[in-house]
Amino acid sequence: MGLQIDIGAVLANHAALAAKAPGARAAAVVKADAYGLGAERIAPALYAAGVRDFFVALAREGRAIRALLPDDARINILSGHMAGAYLAGLTPVLNSPEQFFRDRAMRPGQPFAIQLDSGMNRLGMEAEEWAAIRDEALAAGPAFIMSHLACADEPDHAANAAQLAAFRAMTDGCGVPRSLAATGGILLGPDYHFDMVRPGVGLYGGMPFADARPVVRLSLRVIQTRTVRRGEMVGYGATWHADRDCRIATVDAGYADGILRSLSGSGIAMHAGDVACPIVGRVSMDLITVDVSALDTVPDRLDLIGPHQGIDALADRAGTIGYEVLTSLGLRYDRSWV
């Protein structure tokens, strides 16, 4: 089984998020190889389900899916127009006046979009920069104008309303489609939806979309099982000692596969059916040791991500977020898409 990716669940999550923003087109963010889950499978499936707007970070990622999608799919590049970028068939989201002038000089008449900074100070034109080129940019016909929220996963954060007001002040009356919300922004309600929403992590089963259908199941193979006597140690650094005789199973993945080393000693478990079997000792590069004493028979595989433990449960224990758990999942797993 290895890493099993439920494309039906991705499509269901997209439909559920789209239904929360009925007045807007629902794009799909498939950057970083669809958050590590395989853009070459997921983008065509989303297209077949009716999605026409896709977002990736880099032109290289855009080219990879361009070849797989029909011509009416719009593939937007969040990093915009970088010097030397090859953007045929792609829509750069222009983040600065410099990118705007480069793009208009090199790709006159080709589709582009604009990103404005509404307060996050990461990408996009500042209000003064936008004011200076606004007339020229609007005359050139941007496909849409967008901005991005810094705190949308915290509904009560004051930055949300402040960014909304800043975005409105810069774009009201532009007559161009607008986009502000990613997954978190969709959940903030209709004020944030504008004409297009850009869900990413919610498609893949992650927070802040608490109602998401889980997408990933990760089962690891048991290589070996042994008895460890009371007082013996397990793993690098001898950080764990058996306080009773126990059975330890060693499974075939580790931090090189995205199972973060910070999960060592976190109390996280692997599951055999409904039975939780705690990870003991340190997570090593290719291996994890698990206390399977609670099992009568040890199965061929144990689940790390599955019905009992989602990506965000793992992330909480590792001191990170579901996004990082997903995008860390390595390339060594046997992958299957169902």
Ligand X SMILES: *Cc1c(COP(=O)(O)O)cnc(C)c1O
What is the smallest separation between the CB atom of 22 and ligand X, expressed in angstroms?
18
**Residue 270 is labelled as binding a ligand:** no
What is the smallest separation between the CB atom of 148 and ligand X, expressed in angstroms?
4
Report the residue number, 35 or 240, with the smaller CB distance to ligand X: 35
- Element containing residue 171 per DSSP (H, E): helix 158-171
What is the smallest separation between the CB atom of 301 and ligand X, expressed in angstroms?
29
Tell me the residue type at 105: A
Report the residue number, 103 or 303, with the smaller CB distance to ligand X: 103
236 catalytic, yes or no? yes
State how far the Cα of 38 lies from the Cα of 177, in Å rounded to an integer: 29
Closest to 301 in 3D by CA, of 227, 245, 226, 225: 225
Structure tokens at 63: 């080219």
State how far the Cα of 177 lies from the Cα of 174, in Å rounded to an integer: 8
State how far the Cα of 320 lies from the Cα of 208, in Å rounded to an integer: 14
> Which segments of 158-230 are extended strands (E)?
178-179, 196-197, 216-228
**Residue 207 is labelled as binding a ligand:** no
| 134 CB-near residues (< 8 Å, 6+ apart) | 174
What is the smallest separation between the CB atom of 110 and ligand X, expressed in angstroms?
21
Q: What residue is closest to ligand X based on CB?
A: 200
Report the residue number, 123 or 269, with the smaller CB distance to ligand X: 123
Report the residue number, 182 or 253, with the smaller CB distance to ligand X: 182
Phi, then psi, of 14 in degrees rounded to 5:
-60, -45
Return the SS3 of 98. helix
Which is the catalytic residue, given 35, 192, 236, 323? 236
31 catalytic, yes or no? yes
Residues of this chain that bind ligand X (CB under 6 A): 29, 31, 78, 148, 182-184, 198-202
Which is the catalytic residue, given 31, 35, 204, 323? 31
Q: Residue 175: how many CB atoms within 10 A of its CB?
A: 6
What is the smallest separation between the CB atom of 216 and ligand X, expressed in angstroms?
15
Report the residue number, 62 or 254, with the smaller CB distance to ligand X: 62
| 296 CB-near residues (< 8 Å, 6+ apart) | none
Tell me the residue type at 253: A
Which residues carry a binding-site annotation for substrate?
A: 122, 285
**Active site residues per annotation:** 31, 236
Which residues carry a binding-site annotation?
A: 122, 285
